[in-house]
Amino acid sequence: MPGHIDLNDLVVFTAVVDTGGFSKAALRLGVAPAKVSLEVARLEARLGTALFTRTTRRVVPTEAGRALHEECAPLLLQLRAAVDDVHASSSALTGSLRVTAPTDFGASFVAPALARFAALHPALAIELQTGDRIADLVGEGIDVAIRMGWLRDSSLRAVKLGDFGQYAVASPRYLAQAGAPRTPEELVPLDWIALTRLPAPLKWTFAGPDGANRTVQLRARIRTDSAGALRALVLDGAGISILDEYSVRRDLADGTLVRLLPGWTLPSGGTYAVFPPGRHVSRKVRAFVEYYRAWLAGSGAG
């Protein structure tokens, strides 16, 4: 018979399996890596079996470790859900909330909402990570990611928060020398700036006033992997491109950018809250997502 099993040891164990490493599990749990190693070793001693095969690069569950994880992980999720439900109506939000978002969108449209959310929940510690790469939600201990565009990974758990439009734009200075296009086909000979993170940055389909679609294949003069750099290039007159309405709202209002082909529309994108796979969505995460959905709608950003 195994000795007394500490429930926290099982929480640490499942975190190591989910993240694939002791350091990543420590990051998710907010503890020192040494504590994770100690608690896993204690669990192995009490069970009398090895739960992981350790190498210099990887930590892989043994057959016993996989079996334990399959049994324990769903039960731990149920326990977390039960505790959340009991405290839902009476307790303050506590602990930490880690959010990730694209760099420019995060600064302009996530940070202000988080500031207001933090004021409503003073016992909650909040961390906002921004970057244009796709974060490893499990490995980096992220509670929720705010993502824009189109979710191609069907395995992700996500909630759609709103839609945004996409506009072909250019600076007045560029249009003064190149002329303003009147149809999608007239975009082809112009200086195009491509955002390489898109799946098809040079192929766009416009819906016309008559409902007919026109697809154009463009040629990039300049390429960049940053939405912020793309906007800066367009503002400086380097050429034309397509940007989301969040990024260019103020530029269009003050005239530093001009929307091209206003009678034509491009497919809209979505703003999503994405959750790590296989993890209970905690009450603090649900509270922020609902708050952020309302904030987006009220600010006109959704």
**Percentage of the chain lying above the pLDDT 70 cut:** 90
Assess whether pLDDT exceeds 70 at residue 110: yes
Tens digit of each residue's pLDDT (9 = 90 or more) over 154-165:
556 889 998 999
The string of pLDDT tens digits covering residues 12-31 is: 998 888 888 888 888 878 88
pLDDT at residue 243 in the model: 95
CA nearest neighbour of 41 among 50, 31, 33: 50
Mean pLDDT across the stretch 101-129?
A: 92
Specify the CATH number for 7-87; select among 1.10.10.10, 3.40.50.1460, 3.40.50.1100, 3.90.1170.50.
1.10.10.10
**In the predicted model, what is the mean pLDDT of the chain?**
87
Q: Are strands 59-61 and 203-207 parallel, antiparallel or unpaired?
A: unpaired
Higher pLDDT, 191 or 138: 191
For 238-287, the pLDDT digits (tens) are 999 999 998 899 999 999 999 999 999 999 989 999 998 766 788 899 99
* Number of Cβ atoms within 10 Å of the Cβ of 176: 11
Give the pLDDT band (50/70/90) at residue 146: very high
Which residues partner with 95 through β-bridges?
Answer: 124
Q: 138 pLDDT exceeds 80? A: no
Q: How far, CA to CA in Å, does 124 sit from each of 90, 93, 149?
A: 15, 6, 29
Which H/E stretch holds residue 42?
helix 33-47
Q: Where in the chain is the domain with CATH 3.40.190.290?
A: 166-267
Ranges of CATH 1.10.10.10 domains, the chain = 7-87
What is the C-alpha to C-alpha distance for residues 29 and 19, in angstroms, rounded to an integer? 11
So what CATH class is 95-161+270-299? Answer: alpha beta
Q: pLDDT band for position 84 (50/70/90)?
A: low
How many angstroms separate the most distant Cα atoms in the chain? 83
- The mean pLDDT of 83-101, rounded to a whole number, is 75
Sequence-distant (6+) residues with CB within 8 A of 231 are: 104, 243, 247, 248, 251
Q: What is the pTM of this model?
A: 0.68
Can you tell me the distance from the alpha carbon of 220 to that of 215, in angstroms, rounded to the nearest whole number? Answer: 16
Within the chain, which residue ranges are assigned CATH 3.40.190.10? 95-161+270-299
Quick one: DSSP state of residue 265? Answer: B
**SS3 state at 19:** helix
- Position 3 scores a pLDDT of 58
Q: Where is pLDDT greater, at 194 or 2? A: 194
Architecture of domain 166-267: 3-Layer(aba) Sandwich (3.40)
Tokens coding 72: 């324990």
Q: What is the pLDDT of residue 226?
A: 87
The answer to whether 228 and 126 are in contact (CB under 8 A) is: no
User: What is the model's pLDDT at position 89?
Assistant: 53
pLDDT on residue 302: 47
